[in-house]
Amino acid sequence: MQQPVLFLSHGGGPWPWLDGPFRRGFDWLEASLKAIPAQLPEKPRAVLVASGHWEEPRFTVSTAAMPGMVYDYYGFPEHTYHIRYPAPGAPELAERVVDLAQGAGIAMGRDPVRGYDHGTFSMLQPIWPEADVPVLSLSLRADYDPAAHLALGHALAPLRDEGVLIIGSGFSFHNLRHFNAGAAAPSAAFDAWLRHTLTEVSPAQREARLLHWDQAPAARICHPREDHLIPLMVAVGAAGNEQGLCIYSEDQMRGGISASSYRFGGDLAPSRFDLIGAHARA
């Protein structure tokens, strides 16, 4: 049964393993992530994650059978450098990814030691806390070329019919110097453009707009470095002609920013997590 495609805002650092105000800032995001299994036609055979926290000179896929952990954050409590997300890898699926990419003329490397970075494990922990779904990590290409990432998504689309859930893991807003009320207006402007692009225009127009995403309102304020936006291109490429649906949205994350997540394909009934504003979490 065909799986949908997701672009998820994954939150900050190891937030699912924390408590207190920092963790509470992700309550609505956490609720939306926990709701994802019920939105799928069946439990995936595996999950392929294109993470905004892994980039290589060429696209690269992890081939480890039991990936370790990449603690790619700093300043958090000591216990967060010992957490584990023990989901198995998917080496056979990795070879399928290589074959699909190469069949489309796209170079794809293999990494036998790459572990799960926080763009993968922090996002997956609320979705499958049992860590019982195999996970395959996919790097971005370091040039961040939108066209190349859309093309890779197109090449990998057949995986959806093979029971694989493709996730682009990033953040719809990612400017670490402006996670505060000062980002309210620019993040809202970019988020509105993104929602229109992903949910209202035709698939052909959608890709054309994403190729020039940096011309969107406040684009470079919201993404001074586009590592957390480019995973969206892989997701959109894999989505093909599927319309997008906003499955998570709020405009008061971390004191005022707008953030969102999207699903392509599947049941496009509105999600109760597509609600705007702090009042929606009451």
Residue 211: predicted pLDDT: 98
Q: DSSP labels for 221-235? A: HH-SSGGGTTHHHHH
Mean pLDDT of 102-128: 98
**For 4-13, how does the pLDDT look when each residue is reduced to its tens digit (9 = 90+)?**
999 999 988 9
Where does the pLDDT of residue 279 fall: very low under 50, low under 70, confident under 90, or very high at 90 and above? very low
Residue 46: predicted pLDDT: 98
Residue 253: predicted pLDDT: 72
Residue 270: predicted pLDDT: 57
Residue 256: predicted pLDDT: 78
Residue 246: predicted pLDDT: 94
**Domains of the chain, each with CATH number or no CATH:** 5-281 (3.40.830.10)
The reported pTM is: 0.94
Question: For residues 65 and 69, what is the distance between their CA atoms, to the nearest angstrom?
Answer: 13
SS3 content of the chain, % helix, strand, coil (to 5): 40, 20, 40
In the predicted structure, residue 176 carries a pLDDT above the cut 90: no
Residue 174: predicted pLDDT: 75
Taking CA atoms, 44 is separated from 2, 25, 27, 134, 263, in Å, by 9, 29, 25, 9, 15
